[in-house]
Amino acid sequence: MSSTNPPLASKLSGLQSSAIRDLLKLTTRAEIISLAGGLPDAELMPRERIAKAAEGALSGTGALQYTESPGWAPLRAVLAERESARLGRVVPVDEVFVTHGSQQALSLLSEVLLDPGALVVVEDPAYVGALQVFRAAGARIVAVPLDAEGMRIDALRELLARGERPAVVHTVSNFHNPGGVTMSPRRRGELAELAEAHGFWVIEDDPYGELWFDSPAPAPVATYSRNVIRLSSASKIIAPTLRVGWMVAPDRVCRAVELLKQGADLCGSALTQQIAADLLADETWLTAHVDTVRTTYSTRAKALVHAVRTAFGDRITCTDATGGMFVWADFADGTDTGALLPHALNEGVAYVPGSAFAVDGAYRESMRMCFTTSDASTLEQAIDRLARAHARAAG
């Protein structure tokens, strides 16, 4: 009997697996120093403190039970307090919603805010996890380039002047993934003004804001307007395994997200939410812990940037790495980073070519390097290898 394959939904036809995830499969050989991943350093994750919190949570039965869809109430209370301090206003608990990592907030928000064909403005180069979500929602995606001050608001203004009406503008305001830059305070104010004048939502996707190196990140875009939905996460400051992210949004958005979360997974994990609440409420411990992560990453970032500038001089420009996990570099000598990659892998170093993050720009001469998981001398060795690969590719 002949069989006919049942189809998948047509919206899947335009979706691809993340190029980065596919590439990562090739870069796990032990001899390769990988600057390609985007992972926080597991050695810095507070295993013992998490174990203690888990033990405390498991002394009762609540941690084993379903919890409320918007999150375990004491965790929401701790988050409301932290976000109130960050935003300089009282954030009511009803405006805080806990998600399965901030990635789930992006996914649920795309269902709540976007009709098929709605326009979403993203930054170019873009956070690929956001692109995947917006593409899956059937959105029309238009990109606005980044420069050293973050999203080019002049380009957004031009787009609006052409009559484009975005439903959502997505920004990674602090220590951009992959672009490495931070939006200036002036542009934050301008973006918020445009959001109010044109009636669009801004999703301020901020998992890296607390990982600043020399000076704290500027006040969030969300301090300028209630049209801004702010996302953050415990992944980079504590551990991704908790899958605790959160959103600060107007009550009506939180209620709509709640309806969809019920359909998606009923609720998050009461166990990891209790652990997260314990750690986030322990301010003295948390401050010391985040300081350690920050200073460790800062030393690594500076070593990487110094090594890149020493090895390549004016053949490359790279971001200063003022926080977060990534350095973005542009070759000025015409090097194609996609063509360079096999040579780099031969020499034992991996990075992600810029094209993996491209929306409109090609970024063929760019690359993203992650500095979190190797110490300074290993990063220097990685750049030596990259320089050898570059010489070999040129020769």
**Residue whose beta carbon is closest to ligand PMP:** 101
Decide: is 150 part of the binding site for ligand PMP (CB under 6 A). Answer: no
Q: What angle do CA 221, 226, 228 make, to 5 degrees?
A: 45
Among the listed ranges 109-117, 192-200, 233-241, 295-303, the one in contact with ligand PMP (CB under 6 A) is 233-241
User: 233 or 274, CB closer to ligand PMP?
Assistant: 233
Q: Which of 240, 268, 348, 353 binds ligand PMP (CB under 6 A)?
A: 240
Decide: is 205 part of the binding site for ligand PMP (CB under 6 A). Answer: yes
Per-residue 3-state assignment (H helix, E strand, C coil) for the chain: CCCCCCCCCHHHHHCCCCHHHHHHHHCCCCCCEECCCCCCCHHHCCHHHHHHHHHHHHCCCHHHCCCCCCCCHHHHHHHHHHHHHHHCCCCCHHHEEEEEHHHHHHHHHHHHHCCCCCEEEEEECCCHHHHHHHHHCCCEEEEEEEECCEECHHHHHHHHHCCCCCCEEEECCCCCCCCCCCCCHHHHHHHHHHHHHHCCEEEEECCCCCCECCCCCCCCHHHCCCCEEEEEECCCCCCHHHCEEEEECCHHHHHHHHHHHHHHHCCCCHHHHHHHHHHHHCHHHHHHHHHHHHHHHHHHHHHHHHHHHHHHHHHEEECCCCECCEEEEEECCCCCHHHHHHHHHHHCEECEEHHHHCCCCCCCCEEEEECCCCCHHHHHHHHHHHHHHHHHHHC
Q: Which of 102, 171, 269, 337 binds ligand PMP (CB under 6 A)?
A: 102
Decide: is 201 part of the binding site for ligand PMP (CB under 6 A). Answer: no
Q: Using alpha carbons, list the distances in angstroms from residue 361 to 34, 43, 102, 123, 357.
A: 25, 36, 26, 10, 9
User: 289 or 368, CB closer to ligand PMP?
Assistant: 368
Among the listed ranges 21-29, 73-81, 232-240, 336-344, the one in contact with ligand PMP (CB under 6 A) is 232-240
Q: Which of 37, 40, 150, 245 binds ligand PMP (CB under 6 A)?
A: 245
Contact (CB, 8 A) for 134 and 160:
no
Among the listed ranges 97-105, 162-170, 209-217, 261-269, the one in contact with ligand PMP (CB under 6 A) is 97-105
Q: Which of 34, 67, 69, 103 binds ligand PMP (CB under 6 A)?
A: 103
* Total residues interacting with ligand PMP, rule: CB under 6 A: 14
Q: Which of 127, 201, 224, 312 binds ligand PMP (CB under 6 A)?
A: 127
Taking the complex as a whole, how short is the minimal distance between the CB of residue 170 and ligand PMP, in angstroms? 9
Taking the complex as a whole, how short is the minimal distance between the CB of residue 358 and ligand PMP, in angstroms? 16
Decide: is 132 part of the binding site for ligand PMP (CB under 6 A). Answer: no
Decide: is 204 part of the binding site for ligand PMP (CB under 6 A). Answer: no
User: 177 or 337, CB closer to ligand PMP?
Assistant: 177
Per-residue contact flags (x/-) with ligand PMP for residues 171 to 190, judged by CB under 6 A: -x----x-------------
User: 232 or 335, CB closer to ligand PMP?
Assistant: 232
Report how far residue 316's alpha carbon sits from residue 365's, in angstroms, rounded to the nearest whole number: 9
Taking the complex as a whole, how short is the minimal distance between the CB of residue 234 and ligand PMP, in angstroms? 7
Q: Which of 34, 67, 69, 235 binds ligand PMP (CB under 6 A)?
A: 235
User: 229 or 387, CB closer to ligand PMP?
Assistant: 229
352-353/150-151 β-pairing: unpaired
Per-residue contact flags (x/-) with ligand PMP for residues 12 to 51, judged by CB under 6 A: --------------------------x-------------
Contacting positions for ligand PMP (CB under 6 A): 38, 101-103, 127, 129, 172, 177, 205, 207, 233, 235, 240, 245
